[in-house]
Amino acid sequence: MSRTLARVAFWGAAAKLAWTQGGYGLFLAALRRARGNPPPAPGGDIGTPAVTLIVAAHAEEAVIAAKVENALALDWPRGRLQVVVAVDGGAEPGADATAARARAAGADLVLELPRGGKVRAQDAAVAASSGELLAFSDANARWAPGALRALVTPFADPAVGYVCGQVRFVNEAGTNQEGAYWRFELWQRENESALASVTAGNGAIYAVRRSAYIHVDAVMGHDLSFPFNVVKRGKRAVYAPAALATEKMVPSIEGEGARKRRMMSHAWPIVLRGGLLDPRGYPPLYALMIVSHRVLRYASPLLHLVVAAATLALLREGRVYRAAALAQAGLLTAAAAGGVVKLRPLLLARYYVATTASLAAGLADHLRHGTPAGWDAPEGTR
């Protein structure tokens, strides 16, 4: 690598990392303030439209009854709420008691399906449902009493096609630092929503108009697929922070890395062949958001490797490059130490390294083995 090329590679990759990890969020906050701090989602009187709440479940006998009871206790007229539990694998020999416990808890409709994965279970539930608005949740997510009302209120604006709520992670007794990352992520999501549309959602709490529901590849999932596809179809995808849900967090950083590795094996197909990289249908600001928050974030392992290689080639070129080498070595040392010494700064470094590596590991898994449609709950989250 020539010195000129090494300098271009170093500064180009370092700038992209700095932008996606911090500068982008600051840019959104400044732009939102310049525009008069618009709310993250529109309001209005939507009345009480018929809503179907769909829970796709696989081997969830330990939590499904509590989930159904939580859904039935929401602040929404009972006659306008349909609770559907789609049991992935419920039709298979030896299936557990998920379906029976969902029925006993009062679910309006329980589907016992062949094992086909979460997305196909959701598709089947949508086909069997009756609500004009379709809400989705995970079996281990608990919604606040007013969460559904807050989630559907933005649909009073006909320009809104998708709404995601706020999920808070609980059970922070372990080493996982997901809570710190997630608070930053939701801050960025709120600003994206206020300015244009969100670039991703979450599985714990979200909703779409029936007319906006799309059928995606069984390995791709809704969290990343739905928002940008809704935007491509001329609607907004917004964030309603008052729509609150809670979920148990994976206890350890190592477990979180494994969870994100699995998630990214489902996300990479969306990036590579699911249309996320196709700019057609993106307004200019939203295109910048997709590149900044999704493409560059997912490319961060490669960017780190480029910075590291260029740093080694430029060690004798000045103090800046020696300082960069020390910073990178310091991050890796802190991450290693975080496996032994449970200090917050060391744990944050370990979390960052583990979850960044999981982005690349998820891509490697997808390219080598493909991505299975089925899923299992992460350890410690039930």
pLDDT tens column, 152-174: 999 999 999 999 999 998 876 77
Taking only the tens of pLDDT, the chain with its 382 residues reads 688 999 999 999 999 999 999 999 999 999 999 999 999 999 999 999 999 999 999 999 999 999 999 999 999 999 999 999 999 999 999 899 999 999 999 999 999 999 999 999 999 999 999 999 999 999 999 999 999 999 999 999 999 999 999 999 887 677 778 888 899 999 999 999 999 999 999 999 999 999 999 999 999 999 999 999 999 999 999 999 999 999 988 888 999 899 999 999 999 999 999 999 999 999 999 999 999 999 999 999 999 999 999 999 999 998 999 999 999 999 999 999 999 999 999 999 999 999 999 999 999 999 999 998 887 777 666 7
pLDDT of residue 82: 98
Domain count, the chain: 1
Residue 294 within a domain:
no
pLDDT in tens, 17-39: 999 999 999 999 999 999 999 99
Instruction: Decide if 43 is inside a domain.
Output: no
What's the confidence (pLDDT) of residue 377? 77
Euclidean distance between CA atoms 5 and 317, whole angstroms: 13
pLDDT of residue 54: 98
Q: Are 18 and 324 in contact (CB under 8 A)?
A: no
Question: The CATH number of the domain where 179 resides is what?
Answer: 3.90.550.10
The answer to whether residue 368 sits within a structural domain is: no
**Domain residue limits at 162:** 51-260
Determine the pLDDT at residue 172. 64
Length of the chain: 382
- Residue 214 and residue 190 in contact, taking contact as beta carbons nearer than 8 Å: no
Q: How far is CA 185 from CA 207, 248, 316, in A?
A: 19, 18, 38
Q: Determine contact, residues 116/87, Cβ cutoff 8 Å.
A: no
CB 197 within 8 A of CB 38: no
**28, containing H or E segment:** helix 24-34
**Amino acid occupying residue 132:** E
CA angle 259, 255, 303 (to 5 degrees): 65
| pTM for this entry | 0.94
Is there a domain that residue 216 lies in?
yes
Is 30 domain-assigned? no
Asked whether residue 339 is domain-assigned, the answer is no
Q: Does the residue 233 lie in any domain?
A: yes
pLDDT of amino acid 270: 97
| Residue 82: inside a domain | yes
- Consecutive H or E run containing 362: helix 344-369
Report the relative pairing of strands 206-209 and 133-137 from DSSP bridges. Answer: antiparallel
